Amino acid sequence: MSTAAVQQGTKWWSGGKSPFNASYGKVMMWYFLMSDAFTFGAFLISYGTIRFSQNHWVDPNHVFNSFPFAGHANLPLAFVSLMTFILIASSVTMVLAVHEGHKMNKAGVEKYMLWTILGGICFLGCQAWEWTHLLTGQHEVLVNGQLEYWNTTVAHNPFGPEVMFNGKEVATPGPIAFGSYFFEITGFHGFHVFSGIIINIVMFIKTKMNHFGQRGHYEMIEKAGLYWHFVDLVWVFVFLCFYLI
Amino acid sequence: MSASISSPEITFHPEHEDTTKPIWRTFWILSFLTIIELSIGLIIYNIHKGENPNATLVLAFKGMVCILTLAKAYYIVAVFMHLGSEVRNLIMTIIVPLCLFIWFIAAFLWDGNSWKNLRNRYNRINEKTPTEQVAPAAKEKGAKD
Amino acid sequence: MSNTISLQEAAIYQEHDAPHVEHQHHETFITKYVFSQDHKMIAKQFLITGMIWAVIGGLFSVLFRLQLGYPESTFPWLEDLLGHWAKGGKIQPEFYYALVTMHGTILVFFVLTAGLSGTFANFLIPLQIGARDMASPLLNMLSYWFFFLASIIMFSSLFVQTGPASGGWTIYPPLSALGDASSGSKIGMDLWLTSMAMFIVSSLLGGLNYISTILNLRTKGMSMTRMPLTIWALFFTAVLGVLSFPVLLSGAILLLFDRNLGTSFFLSDIVVNGKILPNEGGSAILFQHLFWFLGHPEVYIILLPAMGMSSEIISVNSRKPIFGYMAMVGSLFAIAILAFLVWAHHMFVTGLNPFLGSFFVLLTLLIAVPSAIKVFNWLTTLWRANIRFTPAMLFAIGFVSFFISGGLTGIFLGNSALDIHLHDTYFVVAHFHIVMGVASFFGMFAGVYHWFPKMYGRYLNNTLAFIHFWVTIIGAYLIFWPMHYEGLAGMPRRYYDFSGWESFKMFAGLNQFISVISMIVFAAQIIFIFNFIYSIFKGRRVTTTNPWGANTLEWTTPIRPGHGNWVGEIPEVHRGAYDYGKDGREFIPQTEPVGENESHH
């Protein structure tokens, strides 16, 4: 039987088969991701709402302008671009793993799963560096008429509007919500990356033990891939909301 | 195709492309979009650095970044997550519920903006110290409660 | 061509299904009754846990009605029972708030969400669509055990020194965010949030299972438009849950951060005990938005299963097809969509932009359209029907009655102008207790009475059922109807004692009356529980597979179906679920092929 013929005459909703031509596991994964999209959506929309309610917001180019081993060079957006590329690249290797799975090529799946896991770990490492940098980096800030040195935490940040003090421009305390939301949302995303890595490691081990080869299909890799791409997708929006606008 | 049908619910085995060409093409598209986003980000940075940043211009650039992000999301979902090649029924049941986000975003941001306006208004009223200004403010607050 | 495909599919199905049938032979007590993966057992677990919670939640309402009805009296036995929460035999104000909060939380989430849709979605979906079990029995089992974990955490919060959460079931910050603000905002609040997070996981696992089972595992011939309305309702319920609960999860996480990590998501410009807090820039209204983005769909998560089951039961016992099947499905769909668009009508007077509010008024009033369609379809199904007044049918009709009388007051409240006067009064209490509390309970009772024979192979006792029904319907109206008048007079909800207000003194007698009736109604529920437990072991045995003469697939299974539901092959479906009173026949089961000369409805 040719697949095209089935495709045209199929009554998708008549029962006895999936209306999506997908196994229940894949359908479940899709709807789980929908649900998770609403979790992240709620976070990002809350962030937007609070941001809309403030007169002043932090300029991301001032906050995220450093790069590991680059000292105090002013490199806005450079590091986060690196993180974005790492995640996109690990997404590509994930698709390639799924692709190898379709071809039932066990060695290929293993290779690309390893690359994906590596990409995920690199991303988490970058995030750890960025968090450390924000939490330890001291910035001059004018508090109650006195100059102090503040780091960026969930409870305060030194990136408020600048005022003239003793003949030079000094920042005042910025909106608290900036740090709160930044750490909360990137933390929640990082948690997703972390769980994605765990899932991918499990999938790698299962591939290694040839579970999927015996089963006759690599659908589990596909489902893990969906999750991994979703994490990438969320990052695209986090990147937009926190770094670009 | 050598892969067998993975579940009894599946009617036919979907064709998978044998080449990895579309994957790499998407990778380059995504990278390209990201680079454009970054350059717009740097443009916004430079506008902010100059005297009297043009708010409308900044807003227009930010709007462009949002559109580019949606384009990136489209490519990730359609190609990487393979939704573009799924049965139409699945595509629709994913896309249609996402439309709820339109009102979700609009109502929330609208209300956020309204809090800013309210706050600024009451702060302005409170800053004017003469007593006859305080009375209506107190009255308005009472009406709000 | 198509024949070969279907043959192949049948072969695959048999292969796939065979292990299920074998499973029932080697089951231990643990795998059969505790960590069961059989959807029918999981449904019973949900039902019984829900019933235990209902007793606890109901008892709480009796306790605080005692305070409201007899504010001047003391009851020394209360101190023996509750210790320092009822010093001198009088319920303490903090405890009163804890009781109100826990009553709301328990009944909304643990009884009417988990106990209602958890029970009937698990029980009915595989049976009515013709599936061996849920898509993933393992996740289904986990769904129950996450609910159990949530229950344990919530239950433990009742016993901590500072008491359970007591800021109302909506846990609005800043009160709920600041431990210094009240004793109920201390550890009890953290336990509440943790418990709800577990509950959300449970509802997500369940909901994903329900959706993918309904979509993917329908038996051959069971097209979407041939599904019983119960399944449609449970489907939309699951969709609502999957898309709205995560938003509450976000809100709960943000609130946990505000409580424990010093963030300012919901806090700004606050002074507690003379101390100015450093928090700035957050917004308490933001939490309300997040909460009600779940909270409003939640109302329909509670109500839709009751609607679906009542539709089914009314049609079966009217011996008539449901009036306007497609209109019923369409209105369920419309309600499900509108449920997501109207959340801010709970917030008209809390600082929401009034202009934005006007959009919410419009969208809210739109819900009246699908609701009215449903009501008229139920009434026209009953119209000139040959009604069998079984207990299930009585409760289903009771559901319609409550849905009408509670729904109409919703039109009052949906208007932001009227809401300024009615907000947070007993009018609101009356409205939502009737339309979502009592109505959903009636749907649930109807479901239990109707499907008990399928669950346990025995009938419930009819005499006790009739007593239960009449006491409950009359009592519920006597409790909640007078509250409309109190609310119109401005009597606010959640107050501890009205005797201090000159304007509410006239309601002292009425409040006492309501309290007495609520105790009687509570006692009637004990009759039901007795009936339930007694009938499991001693009830009249079911002797026929189809005791109600119903069309749907669950009545084609053996009287006590094993794991896998059908012995042999799953039946094929040839027609819709509502061919009652057709061509001179009382009912035509879905499994019967369409005859050549059969008329169309």
Looking up residue C451, the CATH number of its domain turns out to be: 1.20.210.10
- B48 and B83 fall within a common domain: yes
* H/E segment holding residue A149: strand A146-150
Chain A from 181 to 200: CB within 8 A of any C CB? 181, 184, 188
Q: Which two tokens stand for residue A25?
A: 């596991």
Number of structural domains, chain B?
2
Residue found by looking up tokens 């009554």 in the block = A11
What is the tens place of the pLDDT at every residue in C283-318?
999 999 999 999 999 999 999 999 999 999 999 999
* C370: three-class secondary structure by DSSP: helix
8 A C-beta contact, residue B33 and residue B72: yes
Number of structural domains, chain A?
1
Residue B138 scores a pLDDT above 80 = no
What is the tens place of the pLDDT at every residue in C45-67?
999 999 999 999 999 999 999 99
For residues C395 and C504, give the distance between their C-alpha atoms in angstroms, rounded to a whole number.
Answer: 35
8 A C-beta contact, residue C402 and residue C435: yes
For residues C491 and C481, give the distance between their C-alpha atoms in angstroms, rounded to a whole number.
Answer: 14
Of B115-124, C117-126, C330-339, C427-436, the poorest mean pLDDT is in: B115-124
- Answer yes or no: is C195 within a domain: yes
Q: Helices (H) and strands (E) in chain B — how many of each?
A: 5, 0
Number of structural domains, chain C?
1
Which residue in C has a C-alpha nearest to residue A22's C-alpha?
A: C216
B50 close to A (CB below 8 A)? no
Q: Which two tokens stand for residue A234?
A: 């969320």
What is the tens place of the pLDDT at every residue in C538-552?
999 999 999 999 999
Is B30 in Cβ contact with A52 (below 8 Å)? no
For residues A126 and A68, give the distance between their C-alpha atoms in angstroms, rounded to a whole number.
Answer: 9
- B9 and B76 fall within a common domain: yes
- B39 and B71 fall within a common domain: yes
Determine how many CB atoms are found less than 10 A away from the CB of residue C4. Answer: 9
- B145 and B89 fall within a common domain: no
- Answer yes or no: is A6 within a domain: no
For residues C172 and C347, give the distance between their C-alpha atoms in angstroms, rounded to a whole number.
Answer: 12
Residue B31 scores a pLDDT above 50 = yes
8 A C-beta contact, residue C176 and residue C189: yes
> What ipTM, to 2 d.p.?
0.93
- B58 and B105 fall within a common domain: no
Judging contacts by C-beta atoms under 8 Å, the chain C residues touching residue B110 are 353, 356
- B2 and B56 fall within a common domain: yes
Which residue in A has a C-alpha nearest to residue C243's C-alpha?
A: A35
Residue B2 scores a pLDDT above 80 = no
Quote the domain boundaries for residue A39: 22-66+74-244
- Answer yes or no: is C167 within a domain: yes
- Answer yes or no: is C129 within a domain: yes
Write out C51-72 in H/E/C secondary structure. HHHHHHHHHHHHHHHHHHHCCC
pLDDT of residue B129: 53
Residue B5 scores a pLDDT above 70 = no
Considering only CA atoms, which of A57, A192, A182 is closest in space to residue A130? A182
* A59: three-class secondary structure by DSSP: coil
Considering only CA atoms, which of A178, A183, A187, A181 is closest in space to residue A62? A178
Residue from A24, A27, A43, A49 to probe the interface with B (highest B Cβ count within 10 Å):
A49
DSSP state, residue B88: H
DSSP state, residue C582: E
What is the tens place of the pLDDT at every residue in B46-65?
888 777 778 889 899 999 99
Average pLDDT of chain A, as a whole number = 89
Query: What are the phi and psi torsion angles at C354 (to 5°)?
Result: -60, -30
Residue found by looking up tokens 């008048």 in the block = C485
| Burial category of C64 from C-beta neighbours within 10 Å (exposed 0-12, middle 13-18, buried 19 and up) | buried
- Answer yes or no: is C156 within a domain: yes
Give yes or no for a cis peptide into C174 (omega within 30° of 0): yes
- B123 and B57 fall within a common domain: no
pLDDT of residue C20: 45
Pairing of strands C275-276, C271-272: antiparallel
CA-angle at C192, arms to C497 and C476, nearest 5°: 50
Q: How far is CA C74 from CA A38, B31, C77, C86, in A?
A: 49, 74, 9, 9
Judging contacts by C-beta atoms under 8 Å, the chain C residues touching residue A28 are 135-136, 139, 208-209, 211-212
Average pLDDT of chain C, as a whole number = 91
Q: State the smallest CA–CA distance between residue C266 and chain A in angstroms.
A: 9
Written as one letter, the residue type at A82 is: L
For residues C493 and B103, give the distance between their C-alpha atoms in angstroms, rounded to a whole number.
Answer: 31
- B63 and B133 fall within a common domain: no
Judging contacts by C-beta atoms under 8 Å, the chain A residues touching residue C135 are 24-25, 27-28
pLDDT of residue C448: 97
DSSP state, residue A55: S
Interface of C to B at Cβ within 8 Å reads 5, 9, 12-13, 15-16, 216-217, 239, 243, 283, 285-286, 289, 293, 340-341, 344, 351-353, 355-356, 359-360
Contacts of B80 by beta carbon, 8 Å cutoff, 6+ apart: A91, A92, A94, A95, A225, A229, A232, B23, B26
Q: Which two tokens stand for residue B31?
A: 């990278």
8 A C-beta contact, residue C332 and residue C234: no
Q: Which two tokens stand for residue C443?
A: 């749907």
Which residue in B has a C-alpha nearest to residue A243's C-alpha?
A: B41
Contacts of A192 by beta carbon, 8 Å cutoff, 6+ apart: A36, A230, A231, A234
Q: How far is CA C311 from CA A144, C26, C231, C369, in A?
A: 67, 39, 11, 18
8 A C-beta contact, residue C325 and residue C578: yes
Residue C170 scores a pLDDT above 90 = yes
Q: At what angle do helices A176-208 and C229-260 cross, to 10 degrees?
A: 120
| Burial category of C133 from C-beta neighbours within 10 Å (exposed 0-12, middle 13-18, buried 19 and up) | buried
- B85 and B104 fall within a common domain: no
Residue C142 scores a pLDDT above 50 = yes
Considering only CA atoms, which of C587, C198, C226, C237 is closest in space to residue C443? C237
Q: Which two tokens stand for residue C175?
A: 């009160």
Chain C from 282 to 301: CB within 8 A of any A CB? 282-283, 286, 289-290, 293
Q: How many CA atoms lie within 13 Å of C139's alpha carbon, on the beta-carbon side?
A: 21
**CATH number, position A166:** 1.20.120.80
- Answer yes or no: is C142 within a domain: yes
Residue found by looking up tokens 């059908």 in the block = C566
pLDDT of residue B128: 63
Is A181 in Cβ contact with C135 (below 8 Å)? no
Give the start-end residues of each E strand in C241-337: 271-272, 275-276
Query: What are the phi and psi torsion angles at C24 (to 5°)?
Result: -65, -10
Residue found by looking up tokens 């401005």 in the block = C490
- Answer yes or no: is C22 within a domain: no
Q: Mean pLDDT across the stretch A175-181?
A: 91
Residue C12 scores a pLDDT above 80 = no
Residue A3 scores a pLDDT above 60 = no
Residue B136 scores a pLDDT above 70 = no
- B63 and B75 fall within a common domain: yes
CA-angle at A94, arms to A91 and A98, nearest 5°: 140
8 A C-beta contact, residue C339 and residue C296: yes
C558 pLDDT band, cuts 50/70/90, is very high
Residue B133 scores a pLDDT above 60 = no
pLDDT of residue B87: 87
pLDDT of residue B48: 82
8 A C-beta contact, residue A158 and residue A152: yes
Contacts of A11 by beta carbon, 8 Å cutoff, 6+ apart: C223
C142-164 burial code (b ≥16 CB/10 A, e <16):
bbbbbbbbbbebbbebeeeebbb
Contacts of C152 by beta carbon, 8 Å cutoff, 6+ apart: none
Q: State the smallest CA–CA distance between residue C341 and chain B in angstroms.
A: 7
Give the one of C13, C243, C351 whose C-beta lies nearest to B8's C-beta.
C13
Give the neighbours of chain A: at least 3 Cβ pairs within 8 Å. B, C
Quote the domain boundaries for residue C315: 34-587
- B38 and B2 fall within a common domain: yes
* H/E segment holding residue A117: helix A106-136
A2 pLDDT band, cuts 50/70/90, is very low
pLDDT of residue A13: 87
Judging contacts by C-beta atoms under 8 Å, the chain A residues touching residue C219 are 15-16
pLDDT of residue B124: 78
- Answer yes or no: is C275 within a domain: yes
C21 pLDDT band, cuts 50/70/90, is very low
Written as one letter, the residue type at C377 is: N
Q: At what angle do helices C439-456 and C119-129 cross, to 10 degrees?
A: 50
For residues C453 and C560, give the distance between their C-alpha atoms in angstroms, rounded to a whole number.
Answer: 9
Q: Mean pLDDT across the stretch A187-213?
A: 95
Quote the domain boundaries for residue B134: 99-145
- B30 and B91 fall within a common domain: yes
